[in-house]
């Protein structure tokens, strides 16, 4: 059995360069503070790192069927070669698997494997795996620890950080879940090389979101280095994952349970979710969020909260990343309005919108009316 790492650096980093690109971000949540390690080649070193971090522990790796083939089998070899006691369980890849019965099935496999309260779950995969394995960890024997090993850009910049876990119901996404923070996050940017372009775009939409809501410097950097960003140049990729994680860490440390500040992370998502659902989920999440960000930027522009130049910069950056910003005609206004009114983020009957207040700043308002939404959506149809 070979212990040579077969992934982790994309062939773009010289081996002696690898460790110099590792970054560490802390998520300073009281009593539950944890680190995110970011860089290429991390998975090749994971055996030694887990041995030092949690010596003698039993691990169960939860992954999906695609990631199992791309990374899971090789990672099992690396961990076993380092003397780590680990088993792997998997489920069919895709959002359709993010269901309670799949969680129950995984839990029963864990019982068969003898998992007890001292077992640690390794969530290896995208946001579906992270959300589901985190949820499983939070309810298995009333709660066991877990570690996030995100393998999509979206999971590295967003879903693996902040502790939201859960599954979908036929009535809506993420309707069952818990807040449960991981012990650590290992984000190996080298694994992103095999990601389909559409999945990369899903993550880039969230990175643009961080620029819009928090950091005009990040936005400037995405504009200046867009070519390196889309080509996953290692230093630039590590930098955008780090900056995104720093922003998310700051926000969730201040408001873990989304009572206030954390709501800014929904920038573009209220209209985006409505577009996504109106399309019967044919429009991928990241593309719908891109359209949603354009629409709220237009609402903000109409309220003189952001300049037309900055809205055009957003449009140009979405174009650079091949993220669509035109809302198709077949998504009709009524359906968007109706879905927004039934969004699970509606509180006390009022829809909260995260608007731009200049580049890198936001304001949450609850007085956006249907006419304003329709005007903004209309402006996004051409």
Interface with ligand NAD includes 287 (CB under 6 A)?
Answer: no
Interface with ligand GLY includes 162 (CB under 6 A)?
Answer: yes
The site partner of 278 among ligand GLY, ligand NAD, none (C-beta below 5 to 8 Å per kind) is none
Q: What is the rounded CA–CA span in Å between residue 42 and residue 27?
A: 19
The site partner of 195 among ligand NAD, ligand GLY, none (C-beta below 5 to 8 Å per kind) is ligand NAD
Interface with ligand NAD includes 50 (CB under 6 A)?
Answer: no
Span interacting with ligand NAD, options 59-67, 255-263, 289-297, 337-345, rule CB under 6 A: 59-67
Is 269 one of the annotated active-site residues of the chain?
A: yes
The site partner of 156 among ligand GLY, ligand NAD, none (C-beta below 5 to 8 Å per kind) is none
Interface with ligand NAD includes 154 (CB under 6 A)?
Answer: yes
Interface with ligand NAD includes 122 (CB under 6 A)?
Answer: no
Question: Which CB sits closer to ligand NAD, 7 or 59?
Answer: 7
Span interacting with ligand GLY, options 2-10, 257-265, 331-339, 343-351, rule CB under 6 A: 257-265
Is 357 one of the annotated active-site residues of the chain?
A: no
Subset of 174-193 contacting ligand NAD (CB under 6 A): 174, 191
Is 250 one of the annotated active-site residues of the chain?
A: no
Which residue out of 269, 298, 313, 325 is catalytically annotated?
269
Is 342 one of the annotated active-site residues of the chain?
A: no
Is 309 one of the annotated active-site residues of the chain?
A: no
Question: Which CB sits closer to ligand NAD, 45 or 158?
Answer: 158
Q: What is the rounded CA–CA span in Å between residue 217 and residue 195?
A: 26
Which residue out of 258, 352, 357, 363 is catalytically annotated?
258
Which spans of this chain sit near ligand GLY (rule: CB under 6 A)? 158, 162, 164, 258, 262, 265
Positions touching ligand NAD (CB under 6 A) are 64, 66-67, 70, 93-95, 98, 125-129, 131, 151-152, 154-155, 158-159, 162, 164, 173-174, 191, 194-195, 199, 202
Residues annotated as catalytic (active site), given as ranges: 142, 164, 206, 248, 258, 262, 266, 269, 273, 285
């Amino acid at each position: 059995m070979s212990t040579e790492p077969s992934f982790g650096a994309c062939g773009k980093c010289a081996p002696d360069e690898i460790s110099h690109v590792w970054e560490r971000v802390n998520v300073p949540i009281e009593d539950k503070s944890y680190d995110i390690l970011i860089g290429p080649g991390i998975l090749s070193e994971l055996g030694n790192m887990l041995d030092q971090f949690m010596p003698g522990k039993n691990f169960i790796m939860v992954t999906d069927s695609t990631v199992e083939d791309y990374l899971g089998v090789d990672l099992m070899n690396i961990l076993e070669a380092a003397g780590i006691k680990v088993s792997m369980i998997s489920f069919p890849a895709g959002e359709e698997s993010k269901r309670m019965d799949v969680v129950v099935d995984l839990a029963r496999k864990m019982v068969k494997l003898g998992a007890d309260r001292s077992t640690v779950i390794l969530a290896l995969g995208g946001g579906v795996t992270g959300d589901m394995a985190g949820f499983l960890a939070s309810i298995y024997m009333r709660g066991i620890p877990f570690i996030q090993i995100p393998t999509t850009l979206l999971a590295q910049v967003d879903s693996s950080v902040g502790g939201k876990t859960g599954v979908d119901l036929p009535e809506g996404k993420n309707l069952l879940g818990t807040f449960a923070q991981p012990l650590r996050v290992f984000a190996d940017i080298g694994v992103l090389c095999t990601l389909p372009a559409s999945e990369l775009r899903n993550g880039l939409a969230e990175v643009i979101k961080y620029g819009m809501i928090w950091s005009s410097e990040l936005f400037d950097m995405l504009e200046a280095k867009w070519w390196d960003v889309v080509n996953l140049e290692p230093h630039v990729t590590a930098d955008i994952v780090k900056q995104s994680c720093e922003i998310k860490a700051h926000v969730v440390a201040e408001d873990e349970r989304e009572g206030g500040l954390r709501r800014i992370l929904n920038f573009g998502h209220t209209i985006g979710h409505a577009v996504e659902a109106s399309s019967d989920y044919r429009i991928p999440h990241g593309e719908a969020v891109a359209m949603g960000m354009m629409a709220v930027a237009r609402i903000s522009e109409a309220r003189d909260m952001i300049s037309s130049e900055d809205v055009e910069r957003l449009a140009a950056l979405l174009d650079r990343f091949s993220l669509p910003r035109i809302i198709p005609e077949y998504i009709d206004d009524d359906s968007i309005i109706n879905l927004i009114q039934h969004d699970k983020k509606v509180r006390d009957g009022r829809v909260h919108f995260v608007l731009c207040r200049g580049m890198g700043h936001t304001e949450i308002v609850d007085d956006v009316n249907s006419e304003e939404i329709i005007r903004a959506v209309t402006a996004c149809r051409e």
